[in-house]
Structure 1
């Protein structure tokens, strides 16, 4: 059990890995996957530089994650995911695109942030299309809720941001309330953000659009203890 409760925001599904995903997982995980541990990460040791670090929580199959890392070679990325087929798929993308600024942690995001991520060290969190858990009895499983949102703020550096996107309006409204309640975060828009045209479209986003659902985005920035904003590094 972690300090934020024992309820998981995910359910491990026994998804079948393709031959390619299995091969890439077996051949590449030792190079690009960071083992879970109870000690803080040293980003310089992992990336070989001191550039900003962005963490994506729940990258799915990872196509958008790889594209973002490829388009921003001067930023470091860590993707957190528990579903092995997606890990295998992203490992293949890392190798195919010859990326050196993207690593993976295959573990529960709550435990990773608690144990491995230093406070005030992350420039941004990407949380794109997390499971909305639409049934009321399952709302307790939603990732974007307090006190987890407080921990996101704690891990952010000066001027760091949280960027969430969802195609489920009730979850969007729920997340808006939960993030608004965090004293150290400020909504950079008056409500929902404008659609980010530069964010690559994910498989889950396309599925939502095909079902006729609207995309909702939230962008929050960390403010200092006096409630003033910091310019991003």
Structure 2
């Protein structure tokens, strides 16, 4: 679940593979925030089958026009946006325990999308739709102001090095964009396992005039967010996890 900033397209990127979060030689830092970085990964046979069998039902085509949520989901229900769902473990769990909500999930990593599709079929989940597209453009073009009841951003890439902090997703400009899309009383829930990023999240979210912290400081982990395998591994190693829940005023 590491939504991060994108790396600009450059022919040099084809010459040698790069690791997630690593810019190819000669490529400058991007000037605009994107919600992801392109990552390589192998789609398994099961994931490929899920794409073929379930993709037409659950994957939406990006279009620069407002989303008709009622038509998309076949019902009117609270709409929750998730930005970057990784392999979809927590996403599927949350959708299953909150069947009365609709979930719009943005992720560009194909193995992750395939894994979530596979979970949807195995667990008989129907209240998720997936957009394989940059969440920033989805916000700008498909989600009008006041259209969301909630936003989930779990474990975005922390960009550990100080010189890379400007690549972090949670920045003032982006948070203002998120807050504007929330209905009054709607919420944004972020979680991170990197304390310096948690501190930045608290500062940036706290400075947004449209948002109010649900508690003083960090929030208790909401019941609907499960501990993933990744998170449990970190906790065993003594890593902390910080949740933040802010509401639109």
Deviation for aligned residue 1:199: 1.5
Say which SS state the counterpart of residue 32 (structure 2) adopts.
coil
Equivalence for 1:82? 108
- Separation in structure 1 between the aligned mates of residue 160 and residue 166 of structure 2, nearest angstrom: 10
- Contact 2:190 2:244 (C-alpha < 8 Å) held by counterparts: yes
Q: Pick the aligned partner of 1:117 from 143, 147, 152.
A: 143
Query: Given the two structures, how large is their TM-score scaled by the length of structure 1?
Result: 0.90
Describe the superposition over 1:91-133 as per-residue Cα deviations: whole angstroms up to 9, x where unpaired: 1111122222111111111111111112101110011111111
- Separation in structure 2 between the aligned mates of residue 51 and residue 178 of structure 1, nearest angstrom: 29
- Separation in structure 1 between the aligned mates of residue 229 and residue 31 of structure 2, nearest angstrom: 30
Say which SS state the counterpart of residue 172 (structure 2) adopts.
coil
- Separation in structure 1 between the aligned mates of residue 31 and residue 172 of structure 2, nearest angstrom: 11
How many residues get paired? Answer: 221
The unaligned stretches of length 5 or more in structure 2 are 1-5, 7-29
After superposing on structure 2, the runs of 4+ consecutive aligned residues of structure 1 that deviate more than 4 Å are: none
Distance 1:70 1:198, change over 3 A: closer
- Separation in structure 2 between the aligned mates of residue 205 and residue 89 of structure 1, nearest angstrom: 18
- Separation in structure 2 between the aligned mates of residue 207 and residue 139 of structure 1, nearest angstrom: 25
Whether 1:172 and 2:202 are equivalent positions in the alignment is: no
- Separation in structure 2 between the aligned mates of residue 105 and residue 37 of structure 1, nearest angstrom: 10
Deviation for aligned residue 1:9: 4.4
Whether 1:44 and 2:70 are equivalent positions in the alignment is: yes
Deviation for aligned residue 1:198: 3.7
The unaligned stretches of length 5 or more in structure 1 are 224-233
Mean Cα deviation higher: 171-180 or 63-72? 63-72
Equivalence for 1:6? 32
Query: Given the two structures, how large is their TM-score scaled by the length of structure 2?
Result: 0.84
